[in-house]
C-alpha cells in the first residue's frame, strides 16, 4: 500500500501499471510521467515503463492492511485497458470481494470494456466504480456507468477541459472535479466548476472539488466560493 496525496482517497494499490492514451484528458498524463521517472530510478515494477504490465505479486497486498482504507485501484493504469486479461481483472475483483474491510475506488475511460466484463464480476458493496469525463465529448461514459451494478457510481471530471452545462446525474452518487496540473496544464474556468457544482446540488449528488490545478498546483489551492468542498457518498468508510 502506498499512502496517497490524492485528496479523495487514502491509499493506492497498483496490481496493474501502464496505460495508453485514449482521449483528450490523457494528453498530459501524470501517471506516464511518474512511470518513466520510476523506470529511470530502476524501480522493478516499472521496468517496462508505461507499457501495460500485470503484477500478480501485488494481489495479496490488501490482506496485509488491517486498518480499513479507502483504496484507489490502479492509480497508475486503467483496470479495463484492453491489454489487461479478463482473468486478471477477475482475480483483482476476488481480492476486493474478500478483503471487504477496505473500500475500493476504480476509474476507467474504457466504458465499452467495462460493460463487456461487468456482468461477470462480483460487485460487493465495497467496490465503487467511476468513469473519467473530461469534457462534453465524453458523456457517453456516464451512460455506460449507469448500467454497472456498483453500490457507488462516480464521475471524475478531471482534468475539466470545458463547460458541461447538461450533465445527467441520474444514478450517479458522487462527482469529483479538478483542474489539470503539472507541465503544460490546460486552464480551467471557474464558471465551468461552478456550473457542475450547481448541477450536483440540484440533483442532491455529493460534490468534491479536488484542485484548481495549474503548474503551481499547491499555490492555486482548492477553495471554491470561499470554502473547501469535500462531500462524499453516504457509504464512505469512517
One DSSP character per residue, 91-126 reads HHHHHHHHSTTSEEEEEES-HHHHHHHHTTS---TT
pLDDT digits (tens, 9 = 90+) for 208-220: 999 999 877 778 8
Residue 205 has pLDDT above 90, yes or no: yes
First to last CA, the chain: 19
Contact 207, 177 (CB under 8 A): yes
For the chain, what is the mean pLDDT? 95
Tell me what pLDDT residue 216 has.
73
pLDDT digits (tens, 9 = 90+) for 7-64: 999 999 999 999 999 999 999 999 999 999 999 999 999 999 999 999 999 999 999 9
Evaluate if residue 1 carries a pLDDT over 70.
no
Q: Which residue did the predictor score with more confidence, 152 or 237?
A: 152
Residues 234 and 25: their CA atoms lie apart, in Å, by 28
DSSP string, 142-157: HHHHTTS--SEEEEEE
CA-wise closest residue to 181 among 1, 3, 6: 6
Amino acid at each position: 500500500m502506498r499512502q496517497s496525496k490524492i485528496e479523495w482517497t487514502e491509499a493506492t494499490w497498483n496490481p496493474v501499471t501502464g496505460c495508453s492514451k485514449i482521449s483528450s484528458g490523457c494528453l498530459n498524463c501524470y501517471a506516464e510521467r511518474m512511470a518513466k521517472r520510476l523506470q529511470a530510478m530502476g524501480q522493478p515494477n516499472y521496468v517496462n515503463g508505461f507499457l501495460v504490465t500485470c503484477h500478480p505479486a501485488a494481489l495479496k497486498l490488501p490482506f496485509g492492511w488491517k486498518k480499513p482504507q479507502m483504496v484507489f485501484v490502479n492509480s497508475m493504469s486503467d483496470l479495463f485497458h484492453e491489454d489487461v486479461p479478463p482473468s486478471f481483472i477477475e482475480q483483482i475483483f476476488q481480492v476486493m470481494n474478500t478483503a471487504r474491510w477496505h473500500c475500493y475506488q476504480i476509474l476507467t475511460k474504457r466504458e465499452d470494456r467495462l460493460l463487456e466484463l461487468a456482468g461477470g464480476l462480483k460487485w460487493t458493496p465495497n467496490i465503487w466504480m467511476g468513469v473519467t469525463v473530461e469534457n462534453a465529448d465524453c458523456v457517453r461514459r456516464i451512460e455506460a456507468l449507469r448500467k454497472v451494478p456498483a453500490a457507488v457510481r462516480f464521475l471524475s471530471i478531471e482534468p475539466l477541459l470545458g463547460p458541461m452545462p447538461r450533465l445527467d446525474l441520474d444514478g450517479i452518487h458522487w462527482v469529483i472535479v479538478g483542474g489539470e496540473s503539472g507541465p503544460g496544464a490546460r486552464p480551467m474556468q471557474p464558471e465551468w466548476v461552478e456550473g457542475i457544482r450547481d448541477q450536483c446540488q440540484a440533483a442532491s449528488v455529493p460534490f468534491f472539488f479536488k484542485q484548481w490545478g495549474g503548474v503551481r498546483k499547491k499555490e492555486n489551492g482548492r477553495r471554491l466560493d470561499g470554502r473547501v468542498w469535500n462531500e462524499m457518498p453516504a457509504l464512505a468508510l469512517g
